[in-house]
Amino acid sequence: MPDAAPDLFAALFGDAEADARLSDQARLQAMLDVEAALADAEAHLDIIPRSAATAIRAVARAELLDPALITSEAAEAGNLAIPLVRQLTRIVAASDPDASRHVHWGATSQDIVDTGLVLQVRAAVPVILRHLERAEAAAARHAREHIDTVMAGRTWLQQATPITFGLKAAGWLDAMDRQRLALTGALEQARVLQFGGAAGTLAALGDRGEEVAERLAAILELRAPDVPWHAHRDRIATLACALGVTCGVLGKIARDLGLLAQTEVAEAADDLAGGSSSMPQKQNPVRASVALAAAGRAPGLVASILAAMPQEHERGLGGWQVEWTALPELIRVTAGASRTIGDALETLRIDEARMRANLNATRGLALAEAVTVSLSTHMARSQAHALVSAASRRARIDGIPLAEALAADPAVTSWMTRAQIDRLLSPDSYLGEARTFVERVLARVGNVHGR
């Protein structure tokens, strides 16, 4: 069979390791692993002969299957497990006809599909967690190194009061660490065996069903649930939501990186900058674009999984099938986003001089609040706000520093000298608890990661 067409966007939007663990080959192998483990569990409990389990495991290898035939037969069967079990049975029968009778004993298709998906999730999501740890380490380094690097804070895309780049990086770090913990918890919730048989009773196994389930879970290193969850998809949905929020967190960082790299701002830049087919000077923030694309795609994928939750009776019609493609794709885009943000933060170049110059470009307007606060000790805050607002307007219209506009107003100078005005308009004197906040995040996250 010829090789499948390559995914032209895989290297850009995905992650090679996560993609490999979510590939079609990996999906088939995961389901075969469940079939082999089921046979081992039943042989251990003397439900099927040990020789049958040995024969089944010996050929439970994806390379022995015909994927094209599985694809075509799945269109009629409605899922991949039915044609996979059919092929596995034929392969086993070729060497041991009696053993082939014991393939898939007591299970239903959804048991194999769901547990196979859980195995893939267990293999792929840790890739995201490792990238998040890399990104956190890089953000922590920036927070520590730039704890006193003053820059303009920005609200509504306009300069606000001063902050430090260390505070911005600490915000990234704090958000990523929260989401890494949330995603770890959601993965642990999802690490559960699905094994219920035709309608969730394991009736085909008589009074041995619970024993088989416990043994099967142990072999696969999954938890055995109290009850099969064929139509209860909350664990999968919780994982999907955690992945979606992770993409949003990474997208926020990507948005910041893109804005900081704008030509007119130029305060920080990712060393891997893409070029243009027509403009030789361009340095496009490629990595940020990947994370932003993931943040744009994730909500739709999450919504699809949430919309599929109300499933019918003991096993659903159509809702279950939504997850087959939506969840792996959601993991893929999250892996791509975490990879690129980790790479971007590791190679991020900071221009402290440009940060200071951009802040000073307003000629004191970014510190207007500091003057208002000081004047408010002598008059009503509304009056102080009105005085500073008027001075700010004069400064903008006349193109003069705010200090000059304030010094020209007797209502201001009756309460403060020009030297006091200049001190109030010094960015380094109006950083509030920025350093404390950075140190708090570094202390907490550093303790978690042993840094």
3-state secondary structure of 284: strand
Query: 3-class DSSP state for residue 308?
Result: coil
b vs e for 425-434, b when ≥16 Cβ sit within 10 Å of the residue's Cβ?
bebeebbeeb
Residue type, 313: H
Q: Are 256 and 238 in contact (CB under 8 A)?
A: no
HSE value, Cβ hemisphere, 13 Å, CA-based, for 98: 6
107 phi-psi bin (left φ>0, alpha ψ -120 to 50, beta other): beta
Cα 364 versus chain centre, distance: 39
Tell me how far apart the alpha carbons of residues 63 and 234 are, in angstroms, rounded to a whole number.
Answer: 33
| Cα distances (angstroms) measured from residue 306 to each of 25, 235, 237, 327, 333 | 27, 11, 6, 11, 18
DSSP 59: T
Residue 261 phi/psi, 5-degree rounding, is: -90, -5
- Is there a catalytic annotation at residue 315? yes
Among candidate residues 57, 180, 215, 315, the one labeled active-site is: 315
Per the annotation, the verdict on 235 as an active-site residue is no
Q: Alpha carbon of 357 to those of 46, 65, 258, 300, 397: distances in Å?
A: 77, 64, 19, 41, 21
Amino acid type, 92 = V
CA 263, CA 279: separation in Å to the nearest integer?
Answer: 14
Residue 368: what residue type?
A: A
DSSP assignment of 340-373 equals HHHHHHHTEEE-HHHHHHHHHTTTTGGGHHHHHH
Which residues lie below 8 Å from residue 206, measured CB to CB, with a gap of 6+?
none
Calpha distance 308→187 (Å, rounded) = 19
Calculate helix-pair angle for 434-449, 109-145, nearest 10 degrees.
Answer: 130
Element (H, E) at 373: helix 368-375
Rounded CA-CA distance 335/432 in Å is 37
Active site residues: 276, 315
